[in-house]
Structure 1
Amino acid sequence: MTKQRRAVLLMLDGLRRDFVTPALMPRLAAFRERANWCEQHRSVFPSVTRVVSSSVATGCWPARHGLAGNTIAMVEHGALALFDAGKPEFIAEKQRLTGAALAMPTLAERLALTGGVVIYNNVSPGAAYLHDPLGHGHVYHRAGSLGPGREPMTGERALTIAGDLDGDAALVARFVTEAIEVGAPALALAWLGHPDTTQHDCPLGSPPHHEALRRADAHAGAVIAAVAAARLRGEEILLLVGSDHGHQTVTGVVDIVAELVTAGLKAAPDSADVVVAPNGTAALIYVDPEHHDRIEGLGRFLADRPWVGRLITPDDFEAFGVPAGGHLAFAVAMAADDEAVNEYGVPGLSLAAKPAGGKPDRLGCGQHGGLGRYEQSPVLMLDGPGFEAGAVIAETTSAIDLAPTLLAFLGHDTDGLDGRPLQTRL
């Protein structure tokens, strides 16, 4: 007798489409031949993991779920201040300062009473917890594993791994055993930290990068094989394999804060009148309401900077899915060259915003966040009921389409989401 339908979602953080080749990733390349391949799949803006995680979890653009970046500004003690959405405490900070971590319900909330959601995650803790900020299911992360009600899981139940490739391997081993072979949640989600973490630390196309791709391919192969075995046992499973964004090679780092101070548009590097939230190859610029008169001059200044690839004003926020309000005045996609190549012949170069909090600059390595062709070229493959083997979805798809696709397969309503079930696009 066929068991209740369930879905498995595997995300390989930072994997761009053109790296899925027989030479670099043979298991994924073979899977592509029998799955549905989304040839125009895109990220959101900014193309950063915590924002994409929220869009995957809710099926909505950032404009509706309310998280504008990996780093954002919020008002605390009457002044704008920067917050890192990757930190474990971010959920509580955002709830305290804005009333909600996310403004839309997540898959964990929607599926809580019909099989539930189990999440194994090896990226930042903030990104992991944004999948289930209210504690409806189980989230396993090296910084702390949480059960229903956000109760800590300790001892053998906790996920005690590192954030490296070996940690990804250990996560996959537990995920396969606990979430596919033994457990049967409505949705089992594994989000691996690589190749993204490796790509941030080395040049795209370099030997260490190719080794990370090889190992990520092996991790994907283990999940694909486990799902195939479960299907042979009579289970009806939809398998999605994808990524959240791609990467560009960083050719220069721009200190936006210093430029604004020099131009007389910001009082000092640490002042709260104008606050810059760097997001890799993107940036968010906030203006305190008492300095609203600076906005026009800021707009003119930014529009004239050679490092600005696209200046997004409040009039454009809706079109780009950027959250309005919160004193956000501008969003910037840093300048990119989609035709030029790096030292290993990998196309896609970008400028990056100087990171906040003393984080290192990453010249010559991978980065993302903006609108460059390759950072906006993530992967999505779908295999199972509702999808024809070997077919191609030629129209544009997005991270916001994953939640409605999963919900439709599991028999749930998808009204009110920004994305659409991809079953309807064949």
Structure 2
Amino acid sequence: MGQVDKVVIVVFDGLRPDMIAGRMPVLQAFLGDNLWFRNARSVFPSLTRVCTTSVSTGTWPGRHGIVNNQFHLNGDLGGPLVDTARIDDLVKLTDRAGAIVTSDSLGQRLVVAGRSMMAIHCGSAGSGMLVNHAVRENGQRTFSVHGADATLTPEIVPGILAECGPLPSHDVPKLDVVAYTGRVATEVALAQDQADVTLVWLPEPDTSFHFCGIHSEGADKAMRAADTVFGEILQTVADGPFTSRTAVLALSDHGQIATSAIVDLAGLLRADGFRAGGVPGDDTDILLTGGNMGEMRPITPDPELIADLGRWLMQRDEIGMVFADPETVEGALPCAAVHQTHARSAPLLYVMRSDQTLGPGGLPGIGVYTGGVPLGGGMHGGLNRFEMNTVLGIAVPGGRQRETEDAPASLIDVAPTVLDLLGSSFECEGRVLPIFAPEPEQAEVETLQARSGHFAQRLVRSKIAGRSYLIEGERAEPEAS
């Protein structure tokens, strides 16, 4: 028998912990009254679908295989880009690569334990799939705010529409989407045949950070709306029949930083003689993706080309970090240092340069990127401290209250902790978090450094219980010669 009978997980996509106070009173009170992991961290890249899969599987991307929001597929580099926002692209991964996700999920382990799960997801259709990629085989339920065409369990959609009304508009800020999500959570998921695990994934403040700016009226409205829905969920749990046997987890998947300049990386590469592009073609030798991090994959394996690309990246002021085989690219940090060891992982990863400079509204964290959102909007994906630090608060009957925990934690710890609360175990890469007593082990902080010429970089990790958590990474000042 577990410590609880029900678990409710609420995810605030993109929320920075340092932006809660004064904007989200319900969440602020929840974190203050319960157990707050102040050193919680994302994964790399700190992108939503990568993060989603780490939450659902308890593993790093090097094991679960969703190595980027968009990636070219090793072994089929002449084929189309995998866009993980699209369900069709994910389904095709089964034929192209043998599987969508290469780790067991929380949903799958719940079935083994005789438990049920329902997810309410308001991000992309692909993200909604990745919270429980085997939902149909599991006999579980996932509702997408995009409707029947955006879920693997479309049969549940008509009943929800009948109960909660037509699907909401997707105007930004996504206030209608957030409010509708609250209705589905409180009027359906928590009120009718409640699953053992209910996951509610809110799209805000991520969307408003991207398109309105981190410090904006739109972002503030989005945070207030998400906070209101969280309060409604907490009240429904408190009024329900399982209140004394329910755990509530509140978390975010990543943070965001402001953007200061757009860099045409593909154009710069081509100007210097590299035939780089986003899609395969007769004039493209190197496939790349962008954002504030990205990957580079020579269509034909070529260590010398990778070495040349690595040197080129390190000569650019706009580049913050480079990951590759250090024996091939001098000055690179190994991809294994950020848990990018999957057969799908790119041989060369870059992170655009950022720092802790104060941005709009006096919020720290600003960097350059290759595009994807309006200039000045928020961005994530890299290893900046304010991208990596996440929200993680847990309320458990009989658990620690009004405490903070400084031991490192990450998205990979959510699934094993949930299963442990329900009385089951889960062999994965995450650990069961110290909910009932303080962490007895002292974490060891390590800094990995690499340099080549005038380029230097540093990656900070925190090691505990045999695991290495990613704290932050950045371009560093080279040592004086």
In the TM superposition, 1:148-227 aligns within 5 A as: 150=153, 152-157=155-160, 160-163=167-170, 164-227=174-237
| Corresponding residue of 1:344 | 361
Q: Give the SS at the match of 1:170.
A: helix
In the TM superposition, 1:102-121 aligns within 5 A as: 102-113=101-112, 114-121=114-121
Shift of 1:99: 0.8
Instruction: Return the alpha-carbon distance in structure 1 between the equivalents of residues 319 and 405 of structure 2.
Output: 32
Instruction: Return the alpha-carbon distance in structure 2 between the equivalents of residues 257 and 19 of structure 1.
Output: 34
Q: Does 1:422 align with 2:422?
A: no
Q: Give the SS at the match of 1:250.
A: strand
The residue identity in structure 2 corresponding to 1:18 is D
For 1:9-39, what per-residue CA distance to the aligned partner results, in whole angstroms no more than 9, with x for missing partners?
A: 0001011000110x21111111111111111
Shift of 1:379: 0.5
Instruction: Return the alpha-carbon distance in structure 2 between the equivalents of residues 92 and 349 of structure 1.
Output: 36
Query: Residues 298 and 216 (structure 1 numbering): CA distance in 2 closer, same or farther, change over 3 Å?
Result: same
Shift of 1:309: 1.1
Higher RCO by CA contacts (8 Å cutoff, separation 6 or greater)? 1
Shift of 1:387: 2.8
TM-score (norm. length: structure 2): 0.81
Instruction: Return the alpha-carbon distance in structure 2 between the equivalents of residues 124 and 368 of structure 1.
Output: 16
Q: Give the SS at the match of 2:87.
A: coil
Instruction: Return the alpha-carbon distance in structure 1 between the equivalents of residues 294 and 52 of structure 2.
Output: 18
Q: Give the SS at the match of 1:422.
A: coil
Query: Residues 28 and 148 (structure 1 numbering): CA distance in 2 closer, same or farther, change over 3 Å?
Result: closer
Q: Give the SS at the match of 2:68.
A: coil
In the TM superposition, 1:21-170 aligns within 5 A as: 21=21, 23-74=22-73, 79-113=78-112, 114-134=114-134, 135=136, 136=138, 137-145=140-148, 150=153, 152-157=155-160, 160-163=167-170, 164-170=174-180
Instruction: Return the alpha-carbon distance in structure 2 between the equivalents of residues 234 and 29 of structure 1.
Output: 20
Shift of 1:219: 1.3
CA contact (8 A) 2:129 2:152 kept: no
CA contact (8 A) 2:38 2:404 kept: yes
Shift of 1:146: 8.3
CA contact (8 A) 1:66 1:323 kept: no
| Corresponding residue of 2:299 | 288
CA contact (8 A) 1:311 1:332 kept: yes
| Corresponding residue of 2:371 | 354
Structure 2, gaps ≥5 residues long: 327-333, 440-481
| Corresponding residue of 2:319 | 308
Instruction: Return the alpha-carbon distance in structure 2 between the equivalents of residues 300 and 148 of structure 1.
Output: 43
Which of 377, 393, 408 is the matching residue for 1:365?
377
| Corresponding residue of 2:18 | 18
Q: Give the SS at the match of 1:74.
A: coil
Percentage of pairs with the same residue: 27
RMSD across aligned positions (CA): 2.4
| Corresponding residue of 1:406 | 418
CA contact (8 A) 2:122 2:177 kept: yes
Structure 1, gaps ≥5 residues long: 356-360
Query: Residues 395 and 334 (structure 1 numbering): CA distance in 2 closer, same or farther, change over 3 Å?
Result: same
Instruction: Return the alpha-carbon distance in structure 1 between the equivalents of residues 368 and 246 of structure 2.
Output: 41
For 1:366-396, what per-residue CA distance to the aligned partner results, in whole angstroms no more than 9, with x for missing partners?
A: 1111011111121110001463011111011
Query: Residues 234 and 381 (structure 1 numbering): CA distance in 2 closer, same or farther, change over 3 Å?
Result: closer
Instruction: Return the alpha-carbon distance in structure 1 between the equivalents of residues 335 and 385 of structure 2.
Output: 20
Shift of 1:144: 3.6
Q: Does 1:322 align with 2:355?
A: no
Q: Does 1:333 align with 2:345?
A: no
- How many pairs does the alignment contain? 415
Q: Give the SS at the match of 1:348.
A: strand
Instruction: Return the alpha-carbon distance in structure 2 between the equivalents of residues 265 and 228 of structure 1.
Output: 60
The residue identity in structure 2 corresponding to 1:362 is P
Instruction: Return the alpha-carbon distance in structure 1 between the equivalents of residues 149 and 56 of structure 2.
Output: 17
| Range moving further from structure 2, 314-323 or 11-20 | 314-323
TM-score (norm. length: structure 1): 0.91
The residue identity in structure 2 corresponding to 1:407 is L
The residue identity in structure 2 corresponding to 1:240 is L
